[in-house]
Structure 1
Amino acid sequence: MELKEKILTYLYYLKEQSIAGLSKSLSKSTPIVTKAINELLEQRIIVDKGLAASTGGRRAALYSLNENLDNLIVSISIDQFYTSIHLSNLQQEILGEEIDIKLDLTDPTAGVAILTHLRIFIENNHIDTKKVIGVGISMPGFVNSTTGINNSYTEDNPLYNLKKIVETEFNIPTVIDNDSRCVAWAEKEFGSGINSTHSLVINLNWGVGLGIIINGEIFTGATGFAGEFSHIPLSNTNSLCSCGKRGCLEVEASLKSAIDQTEISIQQGEYSIYSTLIKTMSNKSNALIEAAKIGDQLVIYQIGKIGFMIGKGISTLLHILNPNKIIISGRGAEIGNILAPQIQNAMNEFSIPRIARMTEIEISNLHKTAQQKGTTALVVEHYINHILTN
């Protein structure tokens, strides 16, 4: 990134910052940063927000992105069964949204349906696409963010190269990445990972994903597929995973596995408030989470089991990566108070005690908003320079 782009990116995340603060963050001299700030002020891309609170010395001037900028960001957050579309500005304000669109990614028409919903969303929100600096897409699978290809799909499926299709049809620059990496990025910039340089971010959703933060950066691996946590062969059952293999962690450590086991137990005659809640909630994960909050014993038991399996998987990673922190994020973070003790129990059982004691478990406050925040930030990271060119 050029210096001005980096300044704009920092101001997007931090809202307000002084020249001294920017100089430190960017490792640039004060005169160089001051020159860039003055040029951005002249262009009215940023504005002077007055003086910071006194800390005993000279009060520093603060700068922020101009609230009158009309640049927009569209984000498409996709999981296995639901898709959400958001419109936001550079102040991180959501201006329009369509959430929990029911779309099963195993349906061959899912890709076309996403494009249709995006087209309707743009029309309903009267979006001038010339003001959109970029579209961000996050989705599960073997996503190579460099090529834009999702290798979990065959070439004849629109989901294989959804990035290119969106760019072509809507004529808007588009970027795509794995959903769990976007969740990890959100935690790094807005959530529990702000002050942690080495973290593992567990994206507990229908599956269970992993974002790896090393030295303050997202680790992607040699070919961009690092973090396929859910396919570590640690399951105690021989159940078939969605990847086609048996014994994957995901079959015992995901919201879907908890839902499946809860529904089996109900069919066998056990009582759960889940069976009542699901009649009024179309999203099964919401019904499961609500049942847990109410105190449903069957649901709490099933959630405890997935927590223990997640902890078993984490124990494998602790000895390799030695993180400061484990962050539980995604939809499942809403029931983190149930998950955390079971994760810790498994870590105590399967990890070297010294390593387990040095790693903190933290439950994210971003919950299911993490994916949207990370997907939107993905656009900022790639296309903030469009503010300058416009």
Structure 2
Amino acid sequence: MNLDNKYKVQLIKNMYGCDHLSVAELSKKIKKSIPFTSSLISEMIEDEVLEECGLAKSNGGRRPQLYAIKDNNFYTVGVAVNQIKATLAVFDLNGNQIIGPISRNIRLSKTGEDLVELGEFISESIVESDLDREKILGVGIGMPGFIDSIKGVNHTFLDSGTSSIVSYLEDVLGFSVFIDNDSSLIGLAELKQGCAKGHPNALVVNIGWGIGLGVVIAERVFRGEKGFAGEFSHIPLFDNNKICSCGKLGCLETESSLYVLLDAAREGLTDGAYTSLPDRLPEDPTEAVGLIFEAMKQGDTFSIGLLRQVGQNLGRGISILIHLFNPGLIVLSGMGSSPGRYWLPPVQQAINEHSIGKLAEKIELKISRLGPAAELVGAAALVVDRLEEVQVLERVN
């Protein structure tokens, strides 16, 4: 794809996640005349990037032609990395997942060996996908930590030596690579293809091994001065003398995360709780939490009860955000959102208890439709979000 024309890039970015748009709508979005926009669209149809997709509904006049990005013609690779494993999927430019998810256990740490293993995993997965490499526009990667997405550095994980994580992976893969904080990408996913689409101001809570936050302000993901906005986990809320992963005491993460849920489950099983869960949960945290979530959906009272205190603590933290941001929408997303509606009563109860009524009365609280796939969706969308930076690199076989 020829990405030299900045307005073609703008068209793709504005059409991503949309079913179809008219020339008039696209002209308004890129702030160019209708004749100029029509000419660009014609060129992109010839390049097989866009296609006609019927006529709009009639409003009494001539029905405008609608256009969409052509399916399965160009691709982005999304990678989600957490403290336990890495997961990869391939998407087309409409945000449709066409390959994956593919996972490998890679324990995220500060060592360079983990970065090498991550590079090998992505490279091997792309080769096994058997896609035309010329049609892959880039790789987006989400991961926890203090990430400088411009410099391509994670100050918390993955030591890349003298080069940046991005530079190292671009050399290995032969594609443009972009990295960002996992919670910012989950916010981006919800904004482009999830519950926050069309909402100018929203908070997206990433429930995982920690508790992250994607902040949507004026229909854009807010990342802060250095890209570190959204470290929701590390607000000190509790006088519990529990040490957080950040080294401080009493952070939200110490009373509300999937690790907290898992610890409570193991403790209850040791004490002889009546439950359909096995007496001993698997050592693998992801597998163990998956069993708990499945038991909840089957109506297991013990498993549902585990969510009560964790959810109330989460809602207490969210009430602080409500006072700071005055959002119109709060979305519970990420891998921990799988229990769905079971999160709503304890979180809403805590919001009611800890928030000023006038601030909280009209806020919508929703469970993500994207669920555990949100970070992958956001990682792929990151490539489109930074499409003007995509470069044609030497393709590594």
What is the TM-score normalised by the length of structure 1? Answer: 0.91
Q: Per-residue deviation at 1:296?
A: 2.0
Map of 1:1-390 to 2, 5 A cutoff? 2-67=6-71, 69=73, 71-106=74-109, 108=111, 109-153=113-157, 155=159, 161-275=164-278, 278=281, 283-383=287-387
Q: Which has the higher contact order (CA 8 A, sep 6+)?
A: 2
Query: Equivalents in 1 of 2:370, 2:276: separation in Å?
Result: 26
- CA offsets, 1:326-376, max 9 Å, x none? 111112222231211111111111111100112221111110111111110
Query: Equivalents in 2 of 1:41, 1:116: separation in Å?
Result: 36
Give yes or no for contact 2:95–2:381 (8 Å, CA) kept in 1.
no
Give yes or no for contact 2:90–2:97 (8 Å, CA) kept in 1.
yes
Query: Equivalents in 2 of 1:375, 1:34: separation in Å?
Result: 31
Query: Equivalents in 2 of 1:190, 1:379: separation in Å?
Result: 15
What is the TM-score normalised by the length of structure 2? Answer: 0.90
- CA offsets, 1:165-192, max 9 Å, x none? 2101112110000111111111111111
Q: Per-residue deviation at 1:318?
A: 1.1
Query: Equivalents in 2 of 1:341, 1:292: separation in Å?
Result: 14
Give yes or no for contact 1:47–1:64 (8 Å, CA) kept in 2.
yes
SS at match of 1:8: helix
Query: Equivalents in 1 of 2:255, 2:107: separation in Å?
Result: 20
Distance change >3 Å, CA 139–CA 353, structure 1 → 2: same
Q: Per-residue deviation at 1:276?
A: 6.0
Give yes or no for contact 2:110–2:158 (8 Å, CA) kept in 1.
no
Distance change >3 Å, CA 296–CA 353, structure 1 → 2: same
Point out the more displaced range, 274-283 or 361-370. Answer: 274-283
Query: Equivalents in 2 of 1:244, 1:383: separation in Å?
Result: 37
Which amino acid is the alignment partner of residue 152 of structure 1?
A: T
Give yes or no for contact 1:136–1:375 (8 Å, CA) kept in 2.
yes
Q: Per-residue deviation at 1:295?
A: 1.9
Query: Equivalents in 2 of 1:176, 1:387: separation in Å?
Result: 15
Query: Equivalents in 1 of 2:164, 2:25: separation in Å?
Result: 40
Query: Equivalents in 2 of 1:14, 1:387: separation in Å?
Result: 25
Give yes or no for contact 2:81–2:141 (8 Å, CA) kept in 1.
yes
Distance change >3 Å, CA 206–CA 90, structure 1 → 2: same
Q: Per-residue deviation at 1:107?
A: 7.6
Query: Equivalents in 2 of 1:126, 1:58: separation in Å?
Result: 44
SS at match of 1:274: coil
Which amino acid is the alignment partner of residue 102 of structure 1?
A: N
Q: Per-residue deviation at 1:100?
A: 3.8
Give yes or no for contact 1:133–1:384 (8 Å, CA) kept in 2.
no
Query: Equivalents in 2 of 1:369, 1:57: separation in Å?
Result: 41
Distance change >3 Å, CA 273–CA 279, structure 1 → 2: farther
RMSD, aligned CA? 2.6
Instruction: Determine what percentage of the aligned residue pairs are the same residue.
Output: 33
- CA offsets, 1:256-295, max 9 Å, x none? 1101111112112223333369459862221121121122
Give unpaired runs (5+ residues) of structure 1: none
Distance change >3 Å, CA 167–CA 220, structure 1 → 2: same
Q: Per-residue deviation at 1:106?
A: 3.6
- CA offsets, 1:31-69, max 9 Å, x none? 332232233234343222232233332111011223463
Q: Per-residue deviation at 1:10?
A: 2.2
Point out the more displaced range, 32-41 or 57-66. Answer: 32-41
Distance change >3 Å, CA 294–CA 222, structure 1 → 2: same
Query: Equivalents in 2 of 1:39, 1:127: separation in Å?
Result: 24
Query: Equivalents in 2 of 1:186, 1:367: separation in Å?
Result: 10
Give unpaired runs (5+ residues) of structure 2: none
SS at match of 1:14: coil
- Corresponding pairs, count: 387
Query: Equivalents in 2 of 1:284, 1:64: separation in Å?
Result: 42
Distance change >3 Å, CA 292–CA 25, structure 1 → 2: same
- CA offsets, 1:95-154, max 9 Å, x none? 322434222214844323222222321232234433321011000111111111111137
